[in-house]
Amino acid sequence: MSQPNLLIDNLRVSVEGTEILKGLSLNIKGGEVHAIMGPNGTGKSTLASSLMGHPKYTIDSGAVTLNGENLLEMATDERARSGLFLAMQYPSEISGVTNSDFLRSAINARRGEGKEVSLIKFIREMEQKMNVLDMDESFSQRYVNEGFSGGEKKRNEILQMMMIKPKIAILDEIDSGLDIDALKIVAKGVNEMKGPEMGVLVITHYQRLLDYIKPDFVHVMMQGKIVRSGGPELAEKLEAQGYDWIKEELGIEDETVGTKA
Amino acid sequence: MAQELKENLSRDLITQLSNKKNEPEWMLNLRLKAYDLYQELPIPKVDKIKIDKWNMDQFSLIPGSAAQEKDLNELPEEIRTFMDKNTEDRSVLIHKNSEAVFKQLAKELNAQGVIFMDLGQALKEYPELIEKYFAKSVAMDENKIVALHTATWNSGAFLYVPKNVEVEFPIQSIYLAEEEGLLPHIIIVAEENSSVTYVDHHFSNEQSETVVNNSVVEVFVKAGAKVRFATIHNFSEHVYDYTFRKALVERDGTVEWVIGEMNDGNTVSNNTSILKGSAASAFVKSIFIGTGKQKTSFTAQVVHEGTHTVSDILSHGVMLDDSTAIFNGITKIVKNAVKSDATQAEKVLMLSEGARGDANPILLIDEYDVIAGHAASAGPINKEDIYYLMSRGISKKEAERLITHGFLAPVVSRIPIEGLQDQLENVIERKLRK
């Protein structure tokens, strides 16, 4: 299997006629951890959702390929089966569908008819991953995200990632609403998966998460574009000095894009 | 001796029917009184659906007969698959049309004084008990359909659980309709502090010519008793199904209704719980799938009469093709039923442009010191939910299937017999694929 390679080239995306992403380019390879940072309203979550194919977003121009395959031509489920995964900021609650049935459907969707995962093997693996994430056994039989606390939902997203084993995982504000202990657990799950088989894109406001998931590359997003890229030291500088110095260097006052935040 | 009812239904025919079965005189008188009411009462008005043209009384009436013990292995395979496989010592009563063809009561329950048999036989063996309860919860003057039922009922079951007896395994009853009108009357009495789960399954064969099912269910929950009543109705397209169920619940008693309306034909289903004593409770869970041109009126009603009474109604419908359904949830809290707590939710998933589904929550509250809440919605599957499942690699079609099954899970998961639960899953799968 070739090393995962997600290539985003000059991507322009709009929502209901308003352009949000204004020519964004990024290359993520297996084994790399990229972090996109930036204040609210700069287009970070739009990037995540439009990569996954959320129907609300219109791709105006640009290209996105995963290992040479054109993702933009694919429906959301095909993108997922090609190896893209998005841990969502606000995951849906699916009443009446157990976590276990949901995950088994997701895994079997990749394997095809007649090649379904054996139940025993599946349960064993799920138990092991839940153990890593410090999730109670009962979560496998609970309905997907229904009645879960914020932290439990985030852990459930990481559990899905660990079971599905994507080529590229995007974590959209996985740290929001988490206390430090929950954050450590989530990071532990991500770090367990790290390796040449998977590239990671972490989207966050805060440096805090990057203490536990160490990025190789840090990008700053403003006005729908990546305006600065660097190594982990860039995140530290942002933590110490905030975003104003970048705005000054760029000569902008309002870093947001589209409708005012 | 089949009798075409409409032309011939008369005091004479009813007298013949009753005499043929050697019924006590009070039952004959009751039937005749019901017959008079049937003549007088107008066709009930059903919200937004015209039922005047529906077949109510065109069917052949057979008196029905008491259990002719048959060997279980002689019964059709389709019946045997529904039976509880966890035990040989099961309690089950099987009707084929109006005839009771098999009955068995677990030995232990027999020793504890539990009674479970077809209603015709119970009328012979326990006439005073039947007289005490028959038509005492679903009154014959409620409407024309119930009056007709009371005049002509020809099969059914009687389940009696004595004081303090807790029945562990579900008591089961099966009704297979093949060729005639079915008029089963089911009475369940749970004495003080007893508990029991009853589950039944009413269905017809594909080739069935049965045109009318008119059934009545009466449940009496005494102080501190618990009754779970689970039922699946699975009649084919040309069967009209009218079912009226009512539970009277006394102090600290609980009734739980689990209702799977899986008919392919037109249906009027009415379900009522009267919380008479304080701290009585009722929980109603029902699911429905509308297909073809089917029209259905579904009413779940709870009346809070006692203080500190609790109720919850959950009603989920999936509408396909050109089907129409009205879901009425009625919660009534009378004056002085203080500290009552009532919730209800009707949700309808619209999966076809041609379908129509109305969810009507109705709260009638005459007391201030209560908690009452309701939710109602009708619409397509939430797009964000589909997107979420698709983002995990699940196809759109499979995502819709999973969400729809999940929507129906509150009832499926509460069906107490595995074989029957599987059967319900199969029916759901078949209906959704149509």
Render pLDDT for B334-354 as a digit per residue (tens, 0 to 9).
999 999 999 999 999 999 999
Q: Phi/psi of residue B73, each to 5°?
A: -70, -15
Question: What pLDDT, on a 0 to 100 scale, did the predictor assign at position B230?
Answer: 95
Is A76's CB within 8 Å of B391's CB? yes
The answer to whether residue B48 is domain-embedded is yes
Question: What pLDDT, on a 0 to 100 scale, did the predictor assign at position B47?
Answer: 78
Is B396's CB within 8 Å of A75's CB? yes
What is the C-alpha to C-alpha distance for residues B67 and B265, in angstroms, rounded to an integer? Answer: 29
* Burial bucket for residue A260 (CB in 10 Å: 0-12, 13-18, 19+): exposed
> Tens digit of pLDDT for each residue in B183-229?
999 999 999 999 999 999 999 876 666 689 999 999 999 999 999 99
The answer to whether residue B304 is domain-embedded is no
Q: Give the mean pLDDT of chain A.
A: 93
Last residue of a domain, one of B231, B253, B276: B276
B249 & B393 share domain: no
**Mean of pLDDT values over A84-91:** 96
What is the C-alpha to C-alpha distance for residues B235 and B400, in angstroms, rounded to an integer? Answer: 26
Q: Is A70 on the interface with B (CB under 8 A)?
A: no
Question: What pLDDT, on a 0 to 100 scale, did the predictor assign at position B198?
Answer: 96
Question: What pLDDT, on a 0 to 100 scale, did the predictor assign at position B320?
Answer: 94
Question: What pLDDT, on a 0 to 100 scale, did the predictor assign at position A261?
Answer: 39
Is B393's CB within 8 Å of A160's CB? no
Distance from CA of B392 to the nearest CA of A (A): 6
Of all residues in chain B, the one with the smallest CA distance to A111 is B393
Strand ranges in A3-71 using DSSP code E only, listed in sequence order: 5-15, 18-29, 33-37, 57-66, 69-70
The answer to whether residue B258 is domain-embedded is yes
Helices (H), B291-417: 383-390, 396-412
Chain B partners of A53 at a C-beta cutoff of 8 Å? Answer: 391
Give the pLDDT band of residue B2 (cuts 50, 70, 90): low
Is A77's CB within 8 Å of B409's CB? no
Q: Is A76 on the interface with B (CB under 8 A)?
A: yes
Q: Which amino acid is at A223?
A: Q
Q: Is B395 on the interface with A (CB under 8 A)?
A: yes
> Which whole-number Å values give the CA distances from B261 to B21, B45, B178, B190, B231, in the listed order?
32, 21, 19, 25, 8
> Tens digit of pLDDT for each residue in A224-256?
999 999 999 999 999 899 899 999 999 888 888
Is B402's CB within 8 Å of A101's CB? yes
Contact A36, A226 (CB under 8 A): yes
Does residue B1 carry a pLDDT above 50?
Answer: no
The answer to whether residue B18 is domain-embedded is yes
Comparing CB atoms, the residue among B393, B406, B408 nearest residue A94 is: B406
Q: What's the total number of domains in chain B? A: 2
Does residue B122 carry a pLDDT above 90?
Answer: yes
Question: What pLDDT, on a 0 to 100 scale, did the predictor assign at position B208?
Answer: 64
The answer to whether residue B222 is domain-embedded is yes
Q: Is A117 on the interface with B (CB under 8 A)?
A: no
The answer to whether residue B84 is domain-embedded is yes
Provide the edge-to-edge strand list for the sheet that holds B212-221. Answer: B115-118, B155-161, B184-190, B212-221, B240-249, B267-275, B295-304, B324-333, B356-365
B125 & B262 share domain: yes
C-alpha R_g of chain B: 21
What is the C-alpha to C-alpha distance for residues B299 and B360, in angstroms, rounded to an integer? Answer: 9
Which residue segments constitute the domains of chain A, with CATH numbers given? 5-90+167-250 (3.40.50.300)
B58 & B204 share domain: yes
Which residue has 């809440």 as its token pair?
A: B373
Structure tokens at A61: 């121009």
- Nearest alpha-carbon partner for B194 in B123, B255, B277: B255
Widest pairwise Cα distance in chain B: 69
Last residue of a domain, one of B276, B301, B332: B276
The pTM assigned to this predicted structure is 0.88
Q: Is B406 on the interface with A (CB under 8 A)?
A: yes
Chain B partners of A116 at a C-beta cutoff of 8 Å? Answer: none
Report A:82-101 residues touching B (Cβ under 8 A). 85-86, 88, 91-92, 94-97, 101
> Tens digit of pLDDT for each residue in A18-77?
999 999 999 999 999 999 998 888 999 999 999 999 999 999 999 999 999 999 999 999
Of all residues in chain B, the one with the smallest CA distance to A107 is B393
Does residue A259 carry a pLDDT above 60?
Answer: no
Does residue B307 carry a pLDDT above 70?
Answer: yes
The answer to whether residue B159 is domain-embedded is yes
Give the pLDDT band of residue B400 (cuts 50, 70, 90): very high
Dihedral sign of CA atoms B383, B384, B387, B388 in order? negative
Question: What pLDDT, on a 0 to 100 scale, did the predictor assign at position B5?
Answer: 62
ipTM higher than 0.90? yes
What is the C-alpha to C-alpha distance for residues A119 and B84, in angstroms, rounded to an integer? Answer: 25
Does residue B393 carry a pLDDT above 80?
Answer: yes
Distance from CA of A150 to the nearest CA of B (A): 17
B389 & B261 share domain: no
- Nearest alpha-carbon partner for A20 in A36, A44, A37: A44
B365: helix, strand or coil? strand
B257 & B405 share domain: no
A46: helix, strand or coil? helix
B390 & B250 share domain: no
- Tell how strand A199-204 and strand A168-172 pair up: parallel
The answer to whether residue B373 is domain-embedded is no
Structure tokens at B243: 């079912």
B242 & B390 share domain: no
Contact A30, A5 (CB under 8 A): yes
Dihedral sign of CA atoms B68, B72, B75, B78 in order? positive
Question: What pLDDT, on a 0 to 100 scale, did the predictor assign at position B64?
Answer: 66
Last residue of a domain, one of B276, B298, B313: B276
Q: Give the mean pLDDT of chain B.
A: 91
> Which whole-number Å values give the CA distances from B353 to A20, B54, B180, B350, B356, in the listed order?
34, 25, 35, 8, 8
Contact A126, A164 (CB under 8 A): no
Does residue A260 carry a pLDDT above 60?
Answer: no
Question: What pLDDT, on a 0 to 100 scale, did the predictor assign at position A37?
Answer: 94
Domain holding B141, by residue range, is 3-276
Comparing CB atoms, the residue among B382, B396, B409 nearest residue A77 is: B396
Does residue B173 carry a pLDDT above 80?
Answer: yes
B259 & B407 share domain: no
A200: helix, strand or coil? strand
> Which whole-number Å values give the CA distances from B434 to B193, B283, B292, B355, in the listed order?
45, 31, 9, 14
Query: How many CA atoms lie less than 13 Å away from A81 in the CB half-sphere?
Result: 19
Comparing CB atoms, the residue among A86, A91, A96 nearest residue B410 is: A96
Q: Which residues contact B8 (CB under 8 A, 6 or more apart)?
A: none
Of the two residues A43 and B48, the one the predictor is more confident about is A43
Is B393's CB within 8 Å of A88's CB? no
What is the C-alpha to C-alpha distance for residues B301 and A79, in angstroms, rounded to an integer? Answer: 47
Q: Is B396 on the interface with A (CB under 8 A)?
A: yes
B266 & B398 share domain: no
Q: Which amino acid is at A195?
A: G
Structure tokens at B229: 């009543």
Does residue B97 carry a pLDDT above 90?
Answer: no
Contact B392, A80 (CB under 8 A): yes
Q: Is B390 on the interface with A (CB under 8 A)?
A: yes
Does residue B157 carry a pLDDT above 50?
Answer: yes
B115 & B243 share domain: yes
